[in-house]
């Protein structure tokens, strides 16, 4: 009763959900999906299900799927109108995370690429 | 023209206009604020992940990731954390129904599974240090211990927090303030599990792929 009033009167906070029966269903479903995805990614990491060099891509897809499962079924993040704040802040968080991780990787790969090989650096030192 | 008004009315089911509704309930404000903190905490982890991704190949002639990591060990750790995330959810359901016995039981199980996870992690760390693969050996190992150790520190703080909350429920009862803190704790615990998905995929499975 009070939860329903709250959901129409104001925005929903992450983690809140309508009834405890729905919550139990959501946690059980989330656990089942998470177990399947975890077991699949552990099995896939040393398998020949896909072309060898593409295994990291498969693992990344499984990990992102499992993060989504956790967000939806455990943290109860949804795209409902009353949880716009939650999803928008999540989107911003994901944006910054992507910027930090891929930005660092690109910058360092570029620096590595442009770095003079070690023996040439030693040659310069010897010529002085 | 009138249809536009109808649509606008449909979108706001409550009679009170937004400007007259007053502040959101404390429960919503507290949980949303904590959600923002968790996102910033995940950004901290993103920086550590970036450091690991950049440095994981810099072994300096020392042991490489594939020589060090035991996949079966990590699978058990993952199972512990996932199960504790589930029992944390069950604890929140018991809390909502004000069943104090069940709340304590699920909280104890959550803390125990978290403790088992920590034990497994520290035994792995101790084993690595003993084999000469401590954090000072190479850039790869420094970044590994920083990333996984920060996650472990978060789990430690989470267990301490949960035990504190149990003591507060015992002394203060199911007050709104306590419920809010428990909601924040459950968000924290689930977020740690999400970070662990990244850890076992990037660090442990990435080494074998």
Range of the domain at B101: 26-208
Q: CA-CA distances (angstroms) from residue A51 to A30, A37, A55, B179? A: 30, 19, 7, 50
Is B9 a member of any domain?
no
Is B168 a member of any domain?
yes
- On whether any CB of chain A is under 8 Å from the CB of B28, the answer is yes
- On whether any CB of chain A is under 8 Å from the CB of B209, the answer is yes
**Extents of the domains making up chain A:** 12-78, 83-128
Spatial separation of the C-alpha atoms in residues B197 and B194, rounded to whole Å: 5
- Across the interface, whether the CB atoms of B201 and A108 are under 8 A apart is answered no
Spatial separation of the C-alpha atoms in residues A5 and B69, rounded to whole Å: 51
Cα B29 to its chain centre, rounded Å, is 20
Which residues in chain A (17-46) have CB-CB distances under 8 A to chain B?
20, 23-24, 27, 30-31, 34-35, 38, 41-42, 45-46
- On whether any CB of chain B is under 8 Å from the CB of A8, the answer is yes
CATH label of the domain that carries residue B91: 1.20.120.80
Total number of domains constituting chain B = 1
Query: Residue B69 contacts by C-beta under 8 Å, 6 or more apart in sequence?
Result: B203, B204, B207, B208
Is B4 a member of any domain?
no
- Across the interface, whether the CB atoms of A15 and B183 are under 8 A apart is answered yes
Neighboring chain A residues of B71 at a CB cutoff of 8 Å: 42, 45-46
- How close is the nearest chain B Cα to the Cα of A110, in Å? 12
Is B17 a member of any domain?
no
Spatial separation of the C-alpha atoms in residues A87 and A94, rounded to whole Å: 10
For chain B (209 residues), the mean pLDDT of every run of 10, in chain order, is 46 67 86 95 97 90 88 94 96 92 96 97 94 92 96 97 96 93 96 96 86
User: What are the residue ranges in chain A where pLDDT is below 70?
Assistant: 1-10, 17-18, 128
Is B2 a member of any domain?
no
- Number of CB atoms found within 10 A of residue A111's CB: 10
Report if pTM > 0.80: yes
- On whether any CB of chain A is under 8 Å from the CB of B119, the answer is no
pLDDT at B57: 86
Neighboring chain A residues of B28 at a CB cutoff of 8 Å: 6, 10-13, 16
ipTM: 0.85
pLDDT at B2: 42
Question: Cα-Cα-Cα-Cα dihedral of B46, B48, B53, B54, to 10°?
Answer: 120
Indicate if the alpha-carbon torsion angle B51, B56, B57, B59 is positive or negative: positive
pLDDT at A18: 63
């Amino acid at each position: 009763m009070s939860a329903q009033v709250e959901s129409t009167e104001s925005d929903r906070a992450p983690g809140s959900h309508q009834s405890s029966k729905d919550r139990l269903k959501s946690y059980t479903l989330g656990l089942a999906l998470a177990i399947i995805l975890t077991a699949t990614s552990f099995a896939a990491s040393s398998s020949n299900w896909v072309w060898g060099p593409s295994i990291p891509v498969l693992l990344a897809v499984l990990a992102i799927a499992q993060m989504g499962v956790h967000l939806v079924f455990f943290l109860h993040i949804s795209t409902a109108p009353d949880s716009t704040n939650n999803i928008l802040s999540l989107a911003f968080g994901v944006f910054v995370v992507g910027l930090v991780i891929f930005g660092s990787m690109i910058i360092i790969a570029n620096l590595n690429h442009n770095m003079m090989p070690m023996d040439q650096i030693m040659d310069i030192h010897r010529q002085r | 023209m009138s249809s536009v008004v109808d649509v606008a009315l449909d979108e706001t089911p409550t009679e009170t206009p937004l400007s007259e509704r007053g502040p959101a309930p404390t429960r919503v404000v507290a949980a949303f604020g904590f959600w923002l903190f968790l996102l910033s905490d995940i950004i901290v982890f993103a920086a550590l992940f970036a450091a690991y991704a950049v440095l994981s190949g810099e072994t300096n002639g020392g042991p490489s990731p594939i020589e060090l990591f035991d996949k079966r060990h990590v699978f058990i750790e993952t199972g512990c954390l996932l199960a504790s995330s589930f029992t944390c959810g069950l604890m929140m359901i018991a809390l909502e129904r004000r069943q104090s016995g069940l709340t304590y039981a699920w909280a104890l199980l959550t803390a125990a599974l978290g403790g088992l996870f920590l034990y497994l992690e520290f035994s792995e760390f101790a084993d690595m240090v003993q084999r000469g693969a401590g954090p000072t050996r190479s850039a790869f190992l420094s970044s590994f211990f920083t990333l996984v150790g920060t996650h472990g520190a978060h789990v430690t703080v989470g267990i301490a927090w949960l035990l504190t909350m149990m003591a507060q429920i015992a002394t203060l009862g199911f007050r709104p303030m306590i419920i809010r803190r428990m909601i924040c704790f459950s968000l924290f615990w689930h977020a740690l599990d999400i970070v662990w998905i990244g850890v076992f995929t990037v660090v442990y499975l990435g080494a074998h792929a």
